[in-house]
Structure 1
Amino acid sequence: MDLDDIDHRILRVLQKQGRMSNAELSEQVHLSASACHRRVQRLESEGIIRGYVALLDARRMGMPTTVFVEITLSAQADEVLEAFEKAVSRIPDVLECHLMAGSADYILKVVAEDTEDFARIHRQHLTRLPGVAQMQSSFALRTVFKTTALPV
């Protein structure tokens, strides 16, 4: 799908404030309300806009600890990868899982209440993942920068 300057403006605004009304959005992107509404519907139907979410503050939700876990699997066969991916997707504390090129096969982003809670997650979930040969965890000391907005 070809995106023009107006589409980019709409996407930039919605990434920062997704709950605004169509009237507010159309005013910010300098477009009539009906034309703006049609464009947003097109962006949604084309899958450019996948959905709308509320971004929660992990610290205020009692999960201030972020841990990045590097996973190396015992094999690279499709069935091993599929079994791992299916199992890891069911762990509620895992926010992200990325298949990697490099020293680790996967990197997980895990949230926890504290180190004891991470020890529980590790013991109850991570150690039981299929096909894992090696695991290394790194605790984030502080989040310097974080965004969900793509550069458009």
Structure 2
Amino acid sequence: MFEVDNFDFQILRAIQKDARIPQSELGEVVNLSTAAVNRRLKKLKENGVIKQYTALLNQESLGFGLTIITNIEVESEQIHELDATRRDFENCPYVQQCYYVTGEWDFVLIFAVKSMDQYNDLTRELFFQKPNVKRFKTLVAMSKAKVGLELAL
């Protein structure tokens, strides 16, 4: 396993807040040279600590006003059936997050959609037309108290 030291944690905290921070400015924040920051960022990326750099878009300003959480129970938990079901969920561009979970439900999905009609169409495609989906439960987010993927480093 790749060892992450205190400098790496400082760098990771800073780029979680702003991945576009210039490396020279990042170096000042963590008290390292720009070259040292560059080397560390490269190693963090090569070792899979940094998965990707991305932009966080404002859903509402782009018309995706509904966040929907869906719990799914599958009919069969045979591995090939689970894998096929998971792939269907992963391949849907409206599914932002997909979790295989323990307990009463097998999967939890987080959707970003433009309308209830669009979600209804997705339920037909992802749930009703798939023989391995036994049942699902839909929760519509009334408001967003906190949304993010930052780790508490």
- TM-score w.r.t. the length of structure 1 is 0.94
Q: For residue 142 of structure 1, report the CA deviation from its aligned partner.
A: 0.4
Q: Is the 8 Å Cα contact of residues 65 and 111 (structure 1) preserved in structure 2?
A: yes
Q: For residue 114 of structure 1, report the CA deviation from its aligned partner.
A: 2.1
Instruction: Determine the structure 2 residue equivalent to 1:142.
Output: 143
Question: 4+ residue runs of structure 1 moved beyond 4 angstroms?
Answer: none
Greater length-normalized contact order (CA 8 Å, ≥ 6 residues apart): 1
SS of equivalent to 2:40? helix
Letter of the aligned partner of 1:41 in structure 2?
A: K
Paired with 1:31 and 1:130, the residues of 2 have a C-alpha distance of 56
Deviation digits for residues 47-100 of structure 1, max 9, x if unmatched? 111110011111111001011111101111111101111222221111111000
SS of equivalent to 2:135? strand
Q: Is the 8 Å Cα contact of residues 87 and 129 (structure 1) preserved in structure 2?
A: no
Paired with 1:20 and 1:137, the residues of 2 have a C-alpha distance of 39
Does residue 1:124 correspond to 2:97, yes or no? no
Q: Is the 8 Å Cα contact of residues 72 and 135 (structure 1) preserved in structure 2?
A: yes
Paired with 1:90 and 1:128, the residues of 2 have a C-alpha distance of 15
- TM-score w.r.t. the length of structure 2 is 0.94
SS of equivalent to 1:60? helix
Instruction: Determine the structure 1 residue equivalent to 2:91.
Output: 90
Q: Is the 8 Å Cα contact of residues 84 and 130 (structure 1) preserved in structure 2?
A: no
Structure 1 segment 20-31 matched on structure 2, within 5 A = 20-31=21-32
Give the % identical residues.
26
Instruction: Determine the structure 2 residue equivalent to 1:7.
Output: 8
Deviation digits for residues 26-46 of structure 1, max 9, x if unmatched? 111111111111111111111
Q: For residue 14 of structure 1, report the CA deviation from its aligned partner.
A: 0.5
Unmatched runs of 5 consecutive residues or more in structure 1: none
Question: Pairwise CA RMSD of aligned residues?
Answer: 1.2
Paired with 1:130 and 1:30, the residues of 2 have a C-alpha distance of 56
SS of equivalent to 1:3? coil
- Count of aligned pairs: 152
